[in-house]
């Protein structure tokens, strides 16, 4: 079954959302929710749209920054209740004064921006997949905000379609729009009890047909090193250079297991920051692995390196703190793959080939799954996220809308 989505409305909504600066900020206190005012501006706009659609139980929770709403089912079979979640914020890249550029009937030619950058299929071969479609880009000076305003636009259009077509029987549909996904905070405060869904999907990243239910297990390692600074003339046997100790630590991280050396299902270590003077240095690593046992071993490797170097110093000068950030939601979703299988069936019914891939990162779904609500990730249709080369087509976002509609329609026939 195919559904005729109002593409003009979809386009207008996306452009409206894209123009709002919702860049999140990791440097503000964690109790500032959302981390930036633009996210609340977008949430208020969406709240008004949901009210105009006459949805039920519309709530903008100022404590956790989430906007939620209910589209009641129109069938006696009220289970399951299915949730769809998109995030309000955009990545840490220039996002003020976003000026979306519309390229109807894209012909494959180079798109030149005024600042000298360009979108060229020689550099981005996937552009050829969108010939004849309505392509949307930025102007080269900012990101576009496809991640995740394409997800928001697709969800709003799907909801409007279901309301306009009551002949399509469907389960209850819960909507959520949350803050600060890009800085890894938003989902920490999500109220799954109030959301009251049986399972959910995030709509975050990926080309049409992509799905992710496996994410990394993730941790952050912060290493603080105490040095000793003395005059170089009296340095022998006395000076302790914290920078040199930091270099030694990093040299013991296996080269072939660094982020730039791996792909697919392989885990890694990545040194994000190294700041130092003789008297003090700090290293900030992230540790990632799909396999839980490997994840534990990677963390232990860091502990062992620090312990070994500390033994050789006059006293333990290195302090290590490792904090788990999120876990591989696949370990939970594999126990009940119905949400995954349901989405694959919906895609096939729409003549879209499902592409299940491991997500080399994390989504809000990672944390929400471990809060008790299984939440794999669906595509939002965009490409080249988090920079000036972002793009999406109206047709790709419409495919997301159709997929959402088919998921809730199929769930009705299953129960």
Is 308 marked active-site? Answer: no
Integer Cα distance of 289 and 267 in angstroms: 4
Three-class SS state of 75: coil
- Count Cβ atoms within 10 A of the Cβ of residue 280 and give its class: 0-12 exposed, 13-18 middle, 19 or more buried: middle
In the residue annotation, 6 being an active-site residue is answered as: no
Asked whether the bond before 148 is cis by omega within 30 degrees of 0, the reply is yes
Residues 6+ apart with CB under 8 A from 275: 281, 282
**Contacts (Cβ under 8 Å, ≥6 apart) of 126:** 207, 383
b/e sequence 309-338, b meaning 16+ C-beta within 10 Å: beeeeeeebbebebeebbbbbbebbeeeee
Q: Report how far residue 154's alpha carbon sits from residue 338's, in angstroms, rounded to the nearest whole number.
A: 23
State how far the Cα of 162 lies from the Cα of 105, in Å rounded to an integer. Answer: 28
In the numeric block, which tokens belong to residue 316? 């333990």
Strand-pair category, 199-203 with 377-378? parallel
Q: What is the DSSP string of 98-149?
A: ---EEETT--S--EE-TTS-EE-TTT-GGGGGGTTS-EEE--SSS---HHHH
- Which SS3 state, helix, strand or coil, does residue 31 take? coil
Q: Which tokens is 246 given?
A: 């930091």
Dihedral sign from CA coordinates of 33, 39, 44, 50:
negative
DSSP line for 306-370: HHHHHHTSSS--EEEEEEEEE--THHHHTTS-HHHHHHHHHHHHTT---EE--BSS--HHHHHHH
CA distance linking residue 289 with residue 324, whole number of Å: 12
Options 147, 180, 181, 364, the catalytic residue? 181
Query: Three-state DSSP class for 58?
Result: strand
Which residues carry out catalysis?
Answer: 89, 181
């Amino acid at each position: 079954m195919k559904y005729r989505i109002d593409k003009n409305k979809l386009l207008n909504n996306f452009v409206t959302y894209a123009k709002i600066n919702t860049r999140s900020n990791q440097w503000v206190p964690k109790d500032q929710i959302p981390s930036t005012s633009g996210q609340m501006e977008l949430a208020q706009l969406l709240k008004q749209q949901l009210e105009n659609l006459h949805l039920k139980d519309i709530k903008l929770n100022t404590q956790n920054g989430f906007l939620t709403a209910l589209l009641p089912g129109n069938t006696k079979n009220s289970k399951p209740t299915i949730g769809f979640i998109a995030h309000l914020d955009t990545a840490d890249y220039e996002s003020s004064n976003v000026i979306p550029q519309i390229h109807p009937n894209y012909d494959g030619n180079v798109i030149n921006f005024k600042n000298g950058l360009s979108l060229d299929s020689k550099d981005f071969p996937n552009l050829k997949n969108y010939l004849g479609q309505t392509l949307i880009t930025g102007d080269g000076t900012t990101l576009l905000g496809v991640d995740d305003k394409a997800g928001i636009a697709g969800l709003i259009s799907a909801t409007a379609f279901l309301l306009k077509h009551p002949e399509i029987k469907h389960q209850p549909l819960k909507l959520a729009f949350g803050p600060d996904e890009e800085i890894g905070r938003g989902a920490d405060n999500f109220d799954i009890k109030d959301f009251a869904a049986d399972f959910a999907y995030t709509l975050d990243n990926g080309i049409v047909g992509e799905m992710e239910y496996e994410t990394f297990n993730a941790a952050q390692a912060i290493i603080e090193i105490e040095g000793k600074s003395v005059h170089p003339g009296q340095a022998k046997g006395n000076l302790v250079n914290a920078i040199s100790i930091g270099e030694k630590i990093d040299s013991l991280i296996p080269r072939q297991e660094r982020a730039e050396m791996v792909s697919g299902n392989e885990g890694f270590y990545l040194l994000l920051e190294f700041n130092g003077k003789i008297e003090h240095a700090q290293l900030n690593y992230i540790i990632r692995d799909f396999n839980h046992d490997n994840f534990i071993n990677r963390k232990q490797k860091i502990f062992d390196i620090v312990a070994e170097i500390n033994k050789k110093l006059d006293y333990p000068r290195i302090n290590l703190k490792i904090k788990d950030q999120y876990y591989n939601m696949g370990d939970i979703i594999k126990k009940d793959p119905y949400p995954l299988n349901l989405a694959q069936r919906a895609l096939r019914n729409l003549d879209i080939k499902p592409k299940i891939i491991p997500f080399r990162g994390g989504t809000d779904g990672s944390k929400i799954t471990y809060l008790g609500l299984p939440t794999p990730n669906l595509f939002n249709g965009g490409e080249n996220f988090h920079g000036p080369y972002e793009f999406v087509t109206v047709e790709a976002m419409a495919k997301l809308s159709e997929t959402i509609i088919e998921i809730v329609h199929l769930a009705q026939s299953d129960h």
